Amino acid sequence: MEITTGVHAIDDIYGAQTYLLIDDTLTLIDTGYDGNAQKILDYITAIGENPNNLSRIIATHYHPDHVGSARQLVQQTPATVLIHPAEVRRVSNDRYGVAIRMHSMGRLFRKWRSPLLPTTACEFIEEGDIIPCLGGLQVIYTPGHSPGNISLYLTKYKILFTGDAIVNTPRLLLAYLPLGGDRSQSILSAKKLAELDPEICLFSHGQPLFADVPARLRYLADNPIHFTVRLYVKERMAQRRERLFSHKQRKTIPAYTFNPEPVTDPVFTTPHSQ
Ligand SMILES: [Zn+2]
C-alpha cells in the first residue's frame, strides 16, 4: 500500500509492519518474522522496482518480529543491515540475548529464529545520523522497549516511524516492556518524539495516524501508559460493546436522528490504569 509517493507499507507481513522507501535505491524498515522475505521481494517487483536495488534494511531493534526475515533478504539482495549498537551488545551479551540466540537453534521455534547475529555483519546507526533517503531519514534513539530501539523521522515528508517506542494497538500507547525493558527510558523516548512535528505517524504495530499527530504524541508523553495484554483485551471489548450499541441504535432510532459516527477516538479520554 502506498502511503505517499515513495513510502509504502508492505501488505500482509506476519509480524511488525514493514515499510519500503523508494529513492535512487530502496530502503526497508524492518522485515517482520522469519518467512516474509519472498513476500517482500514480490511486493518490490509488483510495484515495478528491482529487488537488486535494495541497499539497506533498517532494523528498528533486534526482536524477531522485526528482523526475522533480514538474513534471508541479505542473502538474496545487496542490502546491508543498519542497527543501533546497543541492540547488538544486548543480543551478544545479556541473558535475553542469549535466549534469542538459543531460539535460533530450535526448529520448533522457527518464527523466533535469530536472523542475523553472529553470522551477518551490521552497520551501526546512532542518534542524529541522517540516512540518505528521500531527502534525509533521521535516526532518533528511543530506548525503553529495548536498549537499542530507534525511531526514524523522514524530515521532508514529516513522517515518523516509531519502531517499538510507541504502538497504536488498539490506541496510542507506549510499547510493552519485555524482559530487559526500561520504563523510565521509554517515557523519556516518548517525550523526545513528542517534540517533533510529524503529519503522519507510522507504527510497527497498529494503524497509521494521519490527524492531530503532534497533539496526540504530546498527550501520550504527558500521560504515559504502556501496552499490556490486559489493557488491550479490556479496550477491545469496550470497542466491541460500543459497536454493538451503535448497531442496536441503528435499528431503533429513525435514520434522520442517528449519528453514524460513534466516538471512536479514545486518545483524549481519561487514561486507564494498567
Ligand atoms: Zn519489539
pLDDT of residue 179: 75
C-alpha 205 to ligand 1 mean position (Å): 9
d(CA 181, CA 186): 8
Which stretches of the chain drop beneath a pLDDT of 50?
102-114, 118-119, 253-274
Neighbours of ion ligand 1 (CB under 5 A): 63, 164
CA angle in degrees (0–180, nearest 5) for 110-121-114: 15
C-alpha 246 to ligand 1 mean position (Å): 35
C-alpha 116 to ligand 1 mean position (Å): 16
pLDDT of residue 91: 66
DSSP string across 52-100:
GGEEEEE-SS--HHHHTTHHHHHHHSS-EEEE-HHHHHHHHHSHHHHHH
C-alpha 142 to ligand 1 mean position (Å): 12
C-alpha 145 to ligand 1 mean position (Å): 7
CB 134 within 8 A of CB 23: yes
C-alpha cell, 85? 549498537
pLDDT of residue 237: 84
Cis? peptide before 170, omega within 30° of 0 = yes
pLDDT of residue 96: 53
H runs (alpha helix) in 77-178: 85-93, 95-103
C-alpha 176 to ligand 1 mean position (Å): 8
C-alpha 65 to ligand 1 mean position (Å): 7
pLDDT of residue 49: 97
210-257 per-position pLDDT tens digit = 999 999 999 999 999 898 888 888 888 887 888 777 766 555 544 443
Domains and their CATH numbers in the chain: 2-222 (3.60.15.10)
pLDDT of residue 97: 54
Task: Please report, for the chain, how many H helices and E strands are present, in that order.
Answer: 8, 14
C-alpha 61 to ligand 1 mean position (Å): 7
